[in-house]
Structure 1
Amino acid sequence: MVKAVLSWLSDGNELAGDECDRLVHALLTTGEPSVYAYFMGAQVANLRGKPLEAISAIETAIEKYPDERAPVGLRVPTKVWGRFWIANLAKESGDMARAKRVYEDLLSTLKDMQTSDVTTYRTESIMMCELLLAEMEREHGQGKQEALSYLKAAEDAGEADGARRAGIALRQSWARYESIRTTKGSAIANAELPPVSDAFPAYELAAHHLFLTGISGSPLVGYVKGMNVVTKRLVDRTVEGEYSQVDRDLARLGYGYDQHHKGNLEEAEKYYASLFEDDSFFSPVAGISLARVKKAQQDTGEARAVLDRVQSKYPGYDSVVTEIRQSWE
């Protein structure tokens, strides 16, 4: 299966594409497919531009294996991961009403579950649902008031102890930013945005989202292998789409960080620069990351110019930018 997919993606080999379709059909209709088989088939169908076929496979996996751990390197049951992924596929295919229903169902499911039954990231997953529903209401639904209601719920999620504290605090800050942007506009939201002094929770949030929505390429791309040509195809499709700024932002941040971490600086630069040009909670994080890439490329002048732009557009980041400048002296 993987060989056929890579041949089709790399060379545009339509015979390999036809072989992908045949293998997916065999995988999903032979014997009693495992949860892994359903998600593998869904991922290939998704790559082949068949979102309804992918959704059908995932729905069957949820029906047969609701509480089995999903094959994605995260402690997430099939009924959670599958719904995140179905909603994303529905958005990609333009069915916003279906995506909204799935998110609402997922939010209810997460709230009803005991922490021990789901994942260490239960609260974070609830907040993510609320942020995504807020975006859908603002862009495709009932409008500002419904969006603000979801954002208020995310902002009031409470505190967590230990390692999870930073991730939850980051999502709360994001929800506050979106609330201000919804009521007062982007310029004021940018001016009032507090800094993300430690970028790692933002990178972690982005990576977590890419895995939950299938954009990472899992399970076709093994969790240990990381991101490759499959992930790039899915990331680029997401970035080029118009259905969700949340998905576009997290795809660019997550993939940019992955490429930066691997030393692929030109590739990282492209995704960071694209995100930095937008008005987004994550834009200044991308800007600082872009400055670090330019510094690593020995282009210190451009790196400092990027930091100047971050400081000008997001004055709350003044202390972060100053600290970076001092470390470069």
Structure 2
Amino acid sequence: MTEPPAGLDSRQAIDDQASAFVARLQGEIDEAGRQAIFAWVAADPRHAVAFARMEAAWEAGARLRACPPAIESQPANQDAPAPPLVSRRALVGGFVAATVVAGAATATWRYTRDVELYRTRLGERRIVTLSDGSRVHLNTASTIEVAMEKRRRRIHLVKGEALFEVAHDTARPFLVDAGSARLRAVGTAFNVRIRETLVELTVTEGVVAVAQGGGHALERAAPRIAAGDGAVIRSGAVAPTVLNPDLLRQRTAWQDGVIELDGETLPQAVEEFNRYRDHPIIVGDPRLANLRVGGRFEVDEADKFITALEGSFAVSAIPTADGSILLVVRS
């Protein structure tokens, strides 16, 4: 393959080159060719943005031509094998918004493997059974990419939260990439949640190894998190945490459609309910920032939470024109 040309400084030239590379990836191309394209994408943030934009445009056109019927999501209480919403070369444009670097990495991950995409809408939960028998519980507004290979099983948690029940297979380790974290398990169960600045790991069965330093290598010395414990991974740094039974149950209560609160601040509690709502609850008074709350609610019971809040504290809930709820100190 001819090396990608250098010196493409204008936006039009970069867009043209990105479009050409996306087109090449749709057909037959060898590994050297793919790596050359990925090197060009990673070389400049403008390249990554243009590549993601052109790939999204290409896929949108392909979907319009194909016009496939909609696929209904599998209810959360079913565990039959679920068809992927999108298969190889699935739409990537929406994933690139987080960061330019993440966009380039996602594109590279997508095109180097036979990938299937599963996702949930806001407020939806879903169970996906993978081809190896592993089960993935997806929480609200979550997305995973799955690549089942001969020597390993690869999962990319793009956003949101998932609990993995891993089928035992010592010949094929089960790897999960989430933010700056890489996790490895053989036969175990663990929960992974991507938060704004960190990744939260909770192990419910077995042992999970965590790569350190933001790299992808899982050395023998990598921290191993046992059942009942957890870890916080921030910028590749791993901080193991010991979880008491109540906190362990609280972190996984979403699988039962429940939000458990035990001394969280009001903004933290509101964040949990907003994960399932089209219109957010807003803490509109800084005097409420340190108010601590508790209780057990269904994920769709934000109204009951607000009623309890108004009945127990000097808080008023004010509906807004756009459907949001503003929480203020009652005067």
Specify if TM > 0.5: no
TM-score, normalised to structure 2, is 0.31
From the two aligned structures, give the one with the greater helix fraction. Answer: 1
Q: Which of the two has higher C-alpha Rg?
A: 2
Q: Quick one: higher RCO (CA 8 Å, sep 6+), 1 or 2?
A: 1
